[in-house]
Amino acid sequence: MYDPTVARLTYRALLGRRRALVLGALPLLLVVIALVVRALTGADDQTAVNVLGGFALATMVPIIGVIAGTGAIGPEIDDGSVVYLLSKPLKRPTIIFTKLIVAVAVTMVFSAVPTLIAGLILNGNGQQIAIAYTVAALVSSIAYSALFLLLGTVSRHAVVFGLVYALVWEALFGSLVPGARTLSVQQWSLAVAHKMAGGDLVTSEVGLPTATVLLVAVTVLATWYAGQKLRSLTLAGEE
């Protein structure tokens, strides 16, 4: 289910000079914000929650997920180079699964690691806040990568749709419409963070059992359907 050659090509595409700069910009900004906030306010648990929840988990992680998830396959479909990959004796689910692993790894490195660093800067992991949000970033990285990889497979406008979901649905509607929060990867990952953090500083609109089921379901179904779409794309090319 994992092909090293496909993985190497995908890593090379995702970590090219231009895309690497984009991927590194938000994590760097998060660490800078954490340093400034710590210098101005000192160590404060609520401030740490506000920064990690409001910027890291709500903005940085989904945007990095969009870049990594759609970038793992979208450009190859757009420029037609995917035909060369599909001509190899590889199962289509293997291609998708390999690209998902790469997208997840890239998203985790560029989101979870800076989240942990920022959390330690902000309050030194008081009440396990830094660890809680780091685990939430790790969990959401998997779901976001699968979801946006699917978008990259089915649409040429995957980046636009991904940003609409991440910044409009989750950030805007999620804050205004209570029902929309149930269909939010951010809220699902916050349920995990709430379980790990001390006290009630970290909250979620979704219970942990429901969040766990939805995270697994979205990841599995999105990966499976992406494989099916890639298979139909092959058939269309052969016709």
Q: Is the pLDDT of residue 176 over 70?
A: no
Exposed e or buried b for every residue in 39-54, given b needs 16+ CB within 10 A? Answer: eeeeeebebbbebbbe
Average pLDDT score, the chain: 88
Q: Is the pLDDT of residue 5 over 90?
A: no
H helix and E strand count, the chain = 12, 0
pLDDT tens track for 108-142 = 999 999 999 999 999 998 899 999 999 999 999 99
DSSP for 101-167?
HHHHHHHHHHHHHHHHHHHHHHHTTGGGHHHHHHHHHHHHHHHHHHHHHHHHHH-TTHHHHHHIIII
pLDDT tens track for 48-102 = 999 999 899 989 999 999 999 999 988 888 777 787 788 888 888 899 999 999 9
**What is the pLDDT at residue 82?**
80
Q: Is the pLDDT of residue 41 over 60?
A: yes
